[in-house]
Structures are given as C-alpha cells and as structure tokens.
Amino acid sequence: MSMDWTEVQIRVATADTEQASAVANMAVPYGIYVEDYSDLEQGAREIARIDLIDEELLKRDRTHSIIHLYLEPQENPTETVAFLRERLSACGIASEVDTKTISEQDWANNWKQYFKPLSVGSRLLICPTWETVENTENRVKLSIDPGMAFGTGGHDTTRMVLEAVERYITPESDVLDVGCGSGILSVASLLLGARSAVGVDIDALAVKMAVENGAINGFAEPRYRILQGDLVDKISGRYRIILANIVADAILKLSPVIPQFLLSGGVYIVSGIIEERGAEVEAGLLACGFTIKERLTHGGWCCFVCGKD
C-alpha cells in the first residue's frame, strides 16, 4: 500500500473563499492553505513595500482562489472530494475540485483499498460491491459503490444518522432523505424495514449513483425514488422520518419548511454540522418549533434528532 498523501485543490471565486475554506476545514482537521491573488498588488506594497511584482505572479487569476488541503494516506480521497463537492454545491458555491498524486481516473480503483466492510449500529453491515464478506453476525447487508458521490458510511456524520435511523424506523415509516448523496441513508432505511424512501440531491452525479445503489440492493420505483432538485423544491407528501445530512447553513435554510412535510409524531434527523456550529443550529431548530429528542456528537460533528409536538 502506497504512503502517498493526496493533495486536493478547490478552485472558487474569490468572493466565496471564506465560506469554501470553512467547508474545506470540515474535511480535514489539520489546516488548509489558501492561494488568493485578489489583492496581490496592494498586499505587495503594504507588506513588502514592493512595486515591482514578478511577471508570473501578475499573470495569476485574481478572480479566483485555490484552496489546498492534504489527505493522509489512510484517508479516502473519493469520499473527501465527494463530500467537498456536495457541501460546496449545497452552499451555492461553484467550484472545481481536483486531486494530485493519484489522477482521478486511477482513483476509481485506488481508493477502494480504503473502503472496507463496516458494521454500523446493531443491525447493518455496509459492504463495498467489490468485496465478499463473511456476515457472521447475520446483519442486514447494504451493498454500495458510492462512485464519486458522498456516502460510504465511514464518515462520522453518516454513521450517526444511520445509528439514529435504526432506532426510529418502523414498517410504517416513509422516509425523505434531503441531500441524499450516494443514497446510503435511503437504502439503509429500506433495508431496516421502512415502507418507502425518497431521496433528493442537487448533484446529477449523486442522483445517478443513488439510483444505481438502490438497484444493487433490489430497490426501485415506486418504493425507492430519487429526484434531482434543490432541498425540498421537488418534494410533496408527508413523511414519518426526514433525514438531512448536509451542512449547517443548508439545515438552517431547510428547517423552517420541514414541518409541512413531517407527519405528526415523526422525527427529523439532521447531521453534517461541525461542532462549532452546533449551538447555532440547535437554536434554529428550536425556533422552527422542533423539540430536541437526542443530541449526538462524534469526531467533531453533531447530529440532532428532532420531534414536532
């Protein structure tokens, strides 16, 4: 196994640098490096008292910045890149995300060495499609190939939701998964006994992977439906369980409209919230009339299970 680190580069408009950097910092806890030439000339004059600037530097793009982050060898680059793409798109930030050391073409196979079968909660076994696994504990097996969509089950945000879903699912549960990524939460809900699941994602690639991951596990329309849309724009009906494993800002934007989609006695489970923003999201949920049934934290992330009286 190689000991190569992966460099991820995110290119965004200068105006989005700060918000994109915050998203990048969720992906790696140990710092990022931002390349921003927007105030190059003024900075050079003020800091270095220089008026002559290297020609190469002057040719740099001033309208965009590049955020660099570095992944340790044991990190799964595909999961991280998919996470970044989906979170940036959920924040309305246009971005280009590239990686170095391994080309994205090689990744399709290289990253697979980092994704091993994973037991989650007391009933689920998440298994990559390319591995055969001894299911000695007789768990419900969820086969998944996330491709370039976020969600193998290994990320703390996803695991907390999966564990909560297991506790709340019933045979009468119709589930709505907002920002479904690879479809892992919707598929898991059905495997754990839900009656139906609807997933929605703004990202076309995620929608494609979510449909495929449903099919791999034997689920298709009408029981399992995946829609392309922004948050709940395309959604109708009412649900016993609503899941949103997205970002704090998207949760704050989404939560005021959730009560119209949530059945009485249902639960709204939100995750993907960096711990520093936990109190702010909690206050937002309370302001929307939710009660907090459970607060879960793991690895610097928060997940809230909410009810509506």
Per-domain boundaries in the chain: 6-110, 155-308
Query: pLDDT value at position 171?
Result: 97
Query: pLDDT value at position 58?
Result: 56
Pairing relationship of beta strands 64-71 and 262-274 according to DSSP bridges: unpaired
Residue written as token pair 């995946």: 226
CATH top class, domain 6-110:
alpha beta
Residue 136: CB atoms within 10 A of its CB come to 7
Q: How sure is the predictor about 27, in pLDDT bands with cuts at 50, 70 and 90?
A: confident
CA angle 187, 168, 206 (to 5 degrees): 25
> pLDDT averaged over the chain?
87
Q: Tell me the C-alpha distance between 127 and 154, whole Å.
A: 11
Residue 59 has pLDDT above 70, yes or no: no
Query: pLDDT value at position 88?
Result: 93
pLDDT in tens, 136-153: 889 999 999 887 677 888
As a whole number, mean pLDDT of residues 19-33 equals 83
Q: Tell me the C-alpha distance between 302 and 208, whole Å.
A: 28
As a whole number, mean pLDDT of residues 63-87 equals 86
Residue 174 has pLDDT above 80, yes or no: yes
As a whole number, mean pLDDT of residues 220-237 equals 95
Query: pLDDT value at position 74?
Result: 78
Q: Which two tokens stand for residue 183?
A: 């479809």
Give yes or no for a contact between 185 and 165, defined as CB atoms under 8 angstroms apart. yes
The alpha carbon of residue 60 and the mean position of all alpha carbons in its chain are separated, in whole angstroms, by: 31
What percentage of the chain exceeds 90 in pLDDT? 56
Residue 271 has pLDDT above 70, yes or no: yes
As a whole number, mean pLDDT of residues 79-97 equals 90
Query: pLDDT value at position 297?
Result: 94
Q: Tell me the C-alpha distance between 262 and 31, whole Å.
A: 39
Look at the domain 155-308 and name its fold.
Rossmann fold (3.40.50)
More reliable by pLDDT, 176 or 46: 176
Predicted TM-score (pTM) of the model is 0.74
With a CB cutoff of 8 Å and minimum separation 6, the contacts of 19 are 91, 93
Query: pLDDT value at position 235?
Result: 95
Query: pLDDT value at position 52?
Result: 52
> For the purposes of burial, counting CB atoms within 10 Å of the CB of 111, is it exposed (0-12), middle (13-18) or buried (19 or more)?
buried
Of 28-32, 68-72, 97-101, 233-237, the range with the highest mean pLDDT is 233-237
Residue written as token pair 């982050």: 69
Q: Tell me the C-alpha distance between 225 and 223, whole Å.
A: 7
| Nearest C-alpha neighbor of 100 from the set 161, 9, 179 | 9
H helical segments located in the chain? 17-27, 40-43, 55-58, 77-90, 104-110, 156-168, 184-191, 204-216, 248-254, 278-287
What percentage of the chain exceeds 70 in pLDDT? 85
Q: How sure is the predictor about 131, in pLDDT bands with cuts at 50, 70 and 90?
A: confident
Query: pLDDT value at position 155?
Result: 85
* Beta strand residue intervals within the chain, DSSP E: 6-13, 33-36, 64-71, 95-100, 118-120, 124-128, 140-144, 174-178, 196-201, 224-228, 239-245, 262-274, 290-298, 301-308
Q: Which two tokens stand for residue 235?
A: 């959604």
